[in-house]
Amino acid sequence: MGFTTSWLPLMASFPSLPYFQVQLIRIQIRVPEYGWTTQKAFHLMNFIVNGLRAILFGLYKSVFLIRPKALEMVVMEIPGLLFFSTYTLLVLFWAEIYHQARSLPIDKLKPTYCIINGVVYLTQICIWIFVMLSRTHGAVIAAKLFFSVVSFSAALGFLIYGGRLFVMLRRFPIESRGRQKKLYEVGCVTAICFSCFFIRCFVLALSAFNKDADLDVLDHPMLNLIYYMLVEIVPSALVLFILRKLPPRRVSDRYHPIE
């Protein structure tokens, strides 16, 4: 495995980083009167996730030489956990829109988001500790299956709230260009995010029971590149492109700062 091959993933993930940063700055310039909003947090978290993934790709060979195995897993899985938090934030935003449109209470949505993420991170930390203490292959299998379940849950969240929002917009009585654009945005983002999380779920579940299907190994740099292109890099780039519209300058009921 030569220098060029090992650095291909880095070159694939790095170009998206400036876009996240520039878009975040543009949003801040457009609405400086707000603090941290959902949109700003989403862009910042995307920047962090892709930045960490780019660093890992750049240090590809060194990462797989980390010992103990649990520490290697921590380094490899942190970007994936942050990716989960980033895109479930989008599910939260859609859930708030749907609940507001249906005159349903939204006060429990953010606490639910925080609790779910907290449980996921706490469970993952416990699994890392278990892997470190047990040093058995069964512990590694448990770690992969857990992350597979987490990915499936995220895919299900997009399917439920993306689907609900899409159906609600389709039933909206007024035909307008804005409505059609929102239908396109919600439909495309739902399909992209559901697909990337479902692919991750399937690959992790498969690799848990089939060692040859494990892509996070030193011997498969190109497969590793393709995998993370499918489940992180390309989806995040597409979603950010689809949702590239800047917020309105004036205060809008559809644009809420994070409390």
Question: In whole numbers, what is the pLDDT of the chain averaged over residues?
Answer: 81
Q: Which residue has the higher pLDDT, 258 or 247?
A: 247
Residue with tokens 């429990």, as numbered in its chain: 108
CA-to-CA distance for 66 and 50, rounded, in angstroms? 21
Specify if 32 maps to a domain: yes
CA-to-CA distance for 66 and 59, rounded, in angstroms? 11
The number of distinct structural domains making up the chain is: 1
Q: Mean pLDDT lowest for which of 11-15, 44-48, 74-78, 205-209?
A: 11-15
Length of the chain measured in residues: 259
Note whether 163 and 132 are within 8 A (CB): no
User: How many Cβ atoms sit within 10 Å of the Cβ of residue 43?
Assistant: 24
| Of 202, 170, 205, nearest in space to 186 by CA | 170
Specify if 7 maps to a domain: no
**Radius of gyration for the alpha carbons in the chain, expressed in angstroms and rounded:** 19
Specify if 4 maps to a domain: no
Q: Which two tokens stand for residue 124?
A: 């993952």
pLDDT at 3 over 50: no
Residue with tokens 């917009």, as numbered in its chain: 169
Domain that residue 131 falls in: 13-243
Identify the top-confidence range among 18-22, 66-70, 179-183. Answer: 179-183
Specify if 239 maps to a domain: yes
CB-based contacts of 173, cutoff 8 Å, min separation 6: none
257 pairs with which residues across the strands? 37
Q: Which two tokens stand for residue 88?
A: 């479930």
- 60-115, pLDDT tens digit by residue? 777 777 778 788 888 889 999 999 999 999 999 999 989 998 888 989 999 999 99
Note whether 255 and 247 are within 8 A (CB): yes
CB-based contacts of 52, cutoff 8 Å, min separation 6: 78, 79, 82
Q: Which two tokens stand for residue 229?
A: 């292109």
Specify if 249 maps to a domain: no
Q: Which two tokens stand for residue 188?
A: 């495309």
Specify if 2 maps to a domain: no
Specify if 5 maps to a domain: no
- 21-60, pLDDT tens digit by residue? 666 676 766 666 666 777 778 888 888 888 888 888 777 7
Angle at 181 between CA 175 and CA 182, to 5 degrees: 90
CA atoms within 13 A on the CB side of 197: 26
pLDDT at 157: 95
Specify if 113 maps to a domain: yes
pLDDT at 199 over 80: yes
